[in-house]
Amino acid sequence: MGTVPRATRAAVAGVERTDLADPAFWRLPAAEQAAAFAGLRQLPTPTYFVERPRSLFRAERGFHALVRHADVVAASRTPEVFRSAPGVTTPEPPRWVRALFGDSMVNLDDPDHARLRRIVSRAFTPRLIAQVEEDIHCVARRIVDDVIAHRPEDFVRSVAAELPFQVICAMMGIPEERRPAILAEVDHASEHTGVQRPLRQRIRLPGRGLRALARMQGMVADLGRERRRRPTDDLISALVTADVDGRSLSYRQLGAFFSLLLVAGVETTRNALAHGLHLLTEHPEQRALLLADPDAHLDGAVDEIIRCATPIIQFRRTLATEHTLGRAQLARGDKVVLYYGSANRDESVFTDPDVFDITRRPNPHLGFGGGGPHFCLGAPLARQEMKVLYRELFTRLPELRSVGAPELVPSSFDNRVRSLRFTF
For ligand HEM, which is the closer residue by CB, 79 or 410? Answer: 79
Question: Alpha-carbon torsion 243, 372, 191, 214, what sign?
Answer: positive
Task: Select the residue interacting with ligand HEM from 128, 291, 376, 397 (CB under 6 A).
Answer: 376
Distance, CA of 152 to CA of 423 (rounded, Å): 9
**Please, what is the minimum distance in Å from the beta carbon of residue 213 to ligand HEM?**
16
Of 231, 364, 372, 410, the one binding ligand HEM by CB under 6 A? 372
Nearer to ligand HEM, 43 or 106 (CB): 106
Burial of 78 (C-beta count, 10 Å sphere; 0-12/13-18/19+): middle
* 375 interacts with ligand HEM by CB under 6 A: yes
- The H or E element that residue 420 is part of is strand 416-423
Report d(CA 19, CA 340) in Å as an integer.
Answer: 17
Give the ranges where 29-94 is alpha helix by DSSP (H).
30-42, 69-76
* Shortest-Cβ-distance residue relative to ligand HEM: 378
Among 67, 182, 382, 400, binds ligand HEM (CB under 6 A): 382
Site for ligand HEM in 8-37 (CB under 6 A): none
Is 378 among the residues that bind ligand HEM (CB under 6 A)? yes
Whole-number Å distance between alpha carbons of 209 and 185? 8
Name the packing angle between helices 268-282 and 162-172 (round to 10°).
150
The dihedral built from the CA positions of residue 377, 383, 384 and 385, taken in this order, carries a sign that is positive
Q: Which is nearer to ligand HEM, 109 or 357 (CB)?
A: 109
The smaller minimum CB distance to ligand HEM, of residues 159 and 261, is found at 261
Q: Check residue 312 and report its DSSP letter.
A: B
CB nearer ligand HEM, residue 221 or residue 389 = 389
- Say how many C-beta atoms besides its own lie within 10 A of residue 140's C-beta: 24
Cβ closer to ligand HEM: 1 or 264?
Answer: 264
CB nearer to ligand HEM: give 219 or 379: 379
- Count of CB atoms situated within 10 Å of the CB of 71: 25
Q: Min. distance of Cβ 376 from ligand HEM in angstroms?
A: 3
Binding segment toward ligand HEM, per CB under 6 A, in 33-41, 191-199, 308-316, 321-329: 308-316
Query: For 102, phi and psi rounded to 5 degrees?
Result: 85, 130
Asked if the peptide bond before residue 91 counts as cis, ω within 30 degrees of 0, the response is yes
Q: Does 144 bind ligand HEM (CB under 6 A)?
A: no
Label the pairing between strands 335-339 and 61-66. Answer: parallel
**In this structure, are strands 416-423 and 82-83 parallel, antiparallel, or unpaired?**
unpaired
The minimum distance between CB 199 and ligand HEM, in angstroms, equals 30
Size of the site for ligand HEM (CB under 6 A): 29
At closest approach, how far in Å is the CB of 245 from ligand HEM? 18
Single out the residue of 370, 388, 394, 408 in contact with ligand HEM (rule: CB under 6 A).
370
| Distant-in-sequence, close-in-space partners of 334: CB < 8 Å, separation ≥ 6 | 63, 64, 318, 319
In which element (H, E) is residue 292 found? helix 284-292
Mark the segment that binds ligand HEM (CB under 6 A) among 6-14, 52-60, 91-99, 365-373: 365-373
Closer residue to ligand HEM, CB minimum distance, 43 or 139: 139
Which of 161, 377, 393, 420 touches ligand HEM by CB under 6 A? 377
168 binds ligand HEM (CB under 6 A): yes
Considering only residues 84 to 123 of the shown chain, the ones binding ligand HEM according to CB under 6 A are 105-106, 117
Q: List the beta strands (DSSP E) in 70-217.
A: 82-83
Q: Which of 43, 272 has the CB closer to ligand HEM? A: 272
Provide, rounded to whole angstroms, the least separation between the CB of residue 289 and ligand HEM. Answer: 21
Binding site for ligand HEM (CB under 6 A): 76, 105-106, 117, 168, 260-261, 264-265, 268-269, 272, 306, 311-312, 315, 340, 367-370, 372, 374-378, 381-382
